[in-house]
């Protein structure tokens, strides 16, 4: 595994003041990344110190290669080449060391994130100690909309994002990922014969114009985004609490909104979509109609920079929630009449 139990115990003890530490595997529902890390589920642990439990989370640079292998449908060397060339289209660049930075810049909203007790990195791996929060997956869409709007309003400066260590996509990232995204969409078409061909076709057209679509994305305005906003990465018990910030990215605010809706815990309907989006947009003095083009654009960005890979990964890694997520993606595609 990334860190030995001896190293982990020493780290936790140092963070909390030299106390005895008892470690056990944390079984987190819906967690994909921990299972792909070197060491698998043992990279997400519960640390019990006295009567209190904490979470120890570890990541490494090796995750990049592991996730690439998991989405490689045919196990082909050609796909490996495409992945090496285009993997920056995903949100994994330096993700092993991003989460601790993201938490540190969100201190003004600390009530909506787990408390961090310590974090370390040696350039190839990282470890972080945080509160173990009580989990409730019941949607509280209005409360979430409020927290999201506050996060998205923190800064819109690319310079600030770079200083904060947030992932920033470039035009070159998009262009370099053309072959990779086409390969993933081809895999989706073959592995999911019932997935609508019109969606795959529209996505292929989008990839063929990656450069222009990147520029269009920039034109909608970017901000700090969670980058992996799903019901599995938050708790609604008491105040909304978000976690798993290693994919934090400078992106359109609509990317987070679309991500949340795609991975909604039940199948979507018009009422859910309209209520959540209206709740968010009223906070910025706007409405769904005024941001409809940005929503449509990010629905395609989400498919061609993340969701196509997730669809391939779930063929090898059991992610039961993806069945509903795929249905929700199709619903949103039809809802926005793309």
Beta bridge partners of 168: 250
Beta bridge partners of 75: none
Per DSSP, which regions of the chain are E strands?
A: 22-25, 44-49, 52-60, 116-121, 125-131, 167-168, 223-225, 234-235, 241-242, 249-251
Q: What is the pLDDT of residue 42?
A: 79
Name the nearest CA neighbour of 330 among 209, 214, 189, 200. 200
Write the DSSP symbol of residue 73: T
Name the nearest CA neighbour of 2 among 69, 66, 75. 66
Name the nearest CA neighbour of 242 among 98, 143, 95, 124. 143
Write the DSSP symbol of residue 307: I
In order of 216, 287, 298, 337, the CA distances from 293 in angstroms are 10, 12, 9, 11
Using DSSP's 3-state secondary structure scheme, residue 22 falls into strand
H helices of 74-196, in order, are 77-86, 99-105, 141-152, 158-164, 171-176, 178-191
Q: To 5 degrees, how large is the angle CA 169–CA 172–CA 174?
A: 65
Q: Could you tell me if 289 and 164 are in contact, meaning their C-beta atoms sit under 8 angstroms apart?
A: no
Name the nearest CA neighbour of 249 among 201, 217, 278, 207. 217
Q: Which two tokens stand for residue 193?
A: 């014969």
Q: Could you tell me if 155 and 57 are in contact, meaning their C-beta atoms sit under 8 angstroms apart?
A: no
pLDDT tens for the chain, 338 residues long, are 789 999 999 999 999 988 899 999 887 666 666 667 656 567 899 999 999 999 999 999 988 889 999 999 999 999 999 999 999 999 999 999 999 899 999 999 999 999 999 999 998 999 999 999 999 999 999 999 999 999 999 988 999 999 999 999 999 999 999 999 999 999 999 999 999 999 999 999 999 999 999 999 999 999 999 999 999 999 999 999 999 999 999 999 999 999 999 999 999 999 999 999 999 999 999 999 999 999 999 999 999 999 999 999 999 998 999 999 999 999 999 999 98
Estimate to the nearest angstrom the gap between the alpha carbon of 72 and the chain centroid: 20
Q: Which two tokens stand for residue 7?
A: 């190293």
Q: Which two tokens stand for residue 321?
A: 């929630």
Q: Which two tokens stand for residue 231?
A: 């019901």
Q: Which two tokens stand for residue 313?
A: 């990964």
């Amino acid at each position: 595994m990334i860190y030995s139990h001896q190293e982990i115990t020493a780290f936790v003890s140092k963070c909390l003041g030299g106390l005895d530490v008892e470690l056990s595997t944390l079984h987190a529902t819906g967690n994909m990344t921990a299972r792909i890390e070197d060491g698998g589920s043992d990279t997400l642990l519960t640390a019990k110190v006295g009567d209190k439990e904490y979470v120890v989370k570890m990541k490494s640079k090796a995750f990049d290669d592991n996730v690439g292998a998991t989405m490689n449908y045919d196990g082909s060397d050609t796909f490996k080449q495409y992945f090496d060339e285009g993997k920056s289209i995903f949100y994994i660049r330096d993700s092993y060391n991003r989460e601790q930075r993201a938490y540190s810049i969100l201190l003004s909203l600390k009530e909506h994130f787990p408390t961090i007790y310590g974090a370390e990195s040696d350039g190839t791996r990282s470890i972080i100690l945080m509160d173990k929060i009580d989990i409730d997956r019941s949607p509280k869409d209005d409360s979430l909309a409020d927290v999201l709007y506050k996060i998205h309003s923190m800064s819109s400066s690319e310079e600030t994002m770079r200083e904060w260590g947030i992932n920033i996509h470039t035009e070159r990232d998009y262009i370099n990922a053309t072959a990779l995204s086409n390969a993933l969409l081809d895999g989706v078409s073959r592995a999911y014969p019932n997935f609508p061909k019109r969606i795959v076709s529209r996505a292929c057209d989008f990839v063929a114009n990656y450069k222009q679509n990147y520029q269009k994305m920039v034109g909608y305005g970017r901000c700090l985004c969670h980058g992996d906003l799903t019901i599995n990465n938050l708790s609604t018990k008491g105040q909304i609490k978000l976690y798993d910030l290693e994919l934090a990215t400078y992106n359109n605010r609509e990317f987070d909104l679309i991500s949340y809706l795609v991975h909604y815990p039940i199948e979507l309907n018009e009422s859910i979509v309209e209520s959540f989006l209206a709740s968010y947009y009223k906070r910025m003095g706007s409405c769904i109609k005024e941001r409809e083009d940005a929503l449509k654009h990010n629905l395609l960005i989400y498919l061609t920079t993340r969701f196509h890979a997730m669809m391939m990964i779930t063929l090898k890694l059991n992610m039961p929630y993806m069945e509903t997520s795929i249905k929700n993606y199709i619903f949103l595609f039809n809802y926005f009449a793309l």
